[in-house]
């Protein structure tokens, strides 16, 4: 069955979000200079700090953010409450710079994933299922394009294709054993894949917060932009997911790519 005109409009909204992320431009505006200048201010081996903090953040979120999410009926997501909470944690990151990232990022990521789950629920996802929970975490991998992605594909579907098997294997493992075996290969592989993509955006956030003039107030703004970015990506992703539940996923993809 072909998509209705209203569904095509929803898909247009989703594609505009998913294929045109603008976090870098917004952060550069707040900092007052191109984000590349922030990278030059980061200390040596900063990427090791970012990668470690990113991985720990995803592990923390996997344990906390979604397994305590309210599964009540779909409702409008509480985006502003989550932005306020993320902004508060970002103030610490802005005040203490890269040193605070290992503490601040897991908290911010957990708040952000709760917000993404809220958005997923509003689009009809059943958060009682492992797949829906992992789809929320997968949103963290949709915010920045990997160098390994196929340039011929849309950035969004390239990311989904790259992670499809890892998400499926992890969902099957969680359905059988839950989180009792956190070191299972299926879980470790998924975390590694998501972390490699999530770290692209986290690196930009760290670079912005390395600029001396940012401070606590700027850190709060940057973190608010950070969660806003992933709230938008979550909205786009779960619009597509909703349409895929109603129609042949290949038909949805063909329509998406033809827009």
Among 253, 207, 200, which Cα is nearest to 229's? Answer: 200
- Condensed to tens digits (0 to 9), the pLDDT of residues 54-94 reads 998 898 887 765 565 555 555 555 554 445 454 455 445 44
Sequential pLDDT tens for the chain (259 residues): 789 999 999 999 999 999 887 777 777 777 777 777 778 877 778 888 888 889 988 988 877 655 655 555 555 555 544 454 544 554 454 445 566 677 778 888 888 888 888 899 899 999 888 899 899 999 999 876 655 555 555 789 989 999 999 999 999 998 888 766 767 899 899 999 999 999 988 888 878 777 765 555 566 778 788 888 888 999 999 999 999 999 999 999 999 999 9
Give the predicted TM-score (pTM) of the model: 0.84
| Residue 118 · residue 77 · CB < 8 Å | yes
CA 23/CA 208 separation, integer angstroms: 11
| Residue 30 · residue 222 · CB < 8 Å | yes
Query: How far is CA 38 from each of CA 55, 83, 211, rounded to the nearest angstrom?
Result: 22, 24, 6
């Amino acid at each position: 069955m072909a998509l209705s005109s209203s569904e095509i409009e929803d898909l247009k909204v989703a594609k505009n979000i998913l294929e045109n992320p603008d976090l870098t431009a917004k952060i550069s505006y707040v900092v007052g200079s191109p984000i590349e200048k922030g990278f030059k201010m980061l200390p040596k081996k900063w990427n090791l700090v970012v990668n470690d903090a990113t991985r720990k953040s995803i592990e923390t979120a996997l344990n906390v953010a979604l397994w305590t999410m309210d599964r009540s009926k779909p409702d409008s997501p509480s985006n502003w409450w989550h932005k306020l909470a993320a902004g508060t944690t970002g103030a610490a990151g802005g005040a203490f710079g890269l040193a605070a990232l290992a503490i601040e990022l897991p908290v911010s990521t957990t708040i952000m994933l709760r917000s993404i789950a809220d958005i997923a629920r509003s689009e009809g996802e059943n958060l009682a299922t492992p797949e829906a929970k992992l789809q929320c975490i997968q949103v963290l991998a949709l915010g920045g394009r990997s160098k390994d992605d196929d340039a011929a594909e849309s950035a969004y579907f390239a990311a989904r294709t790259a992670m499809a098997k890892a998400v499926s294997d992890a969902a099957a493992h969680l359905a059988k054993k839950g989180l009792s075996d956190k070191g299972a290969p299926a879980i470790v592989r998924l975390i590694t894949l998501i972390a490699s993509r999530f770290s692209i955006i986290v690196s930009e956030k760290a670079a912005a917060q390395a600029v001396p003039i940012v401070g606590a107030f700027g850190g709060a703004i940057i973190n608010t932009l950070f969660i806003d970015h992933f709230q938008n990506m979550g909205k786009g992703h779960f619009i597509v997911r909703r349409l895929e539940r109603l129609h042949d996923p290949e038909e949805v993809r063909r329509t998406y790519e033809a827009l």
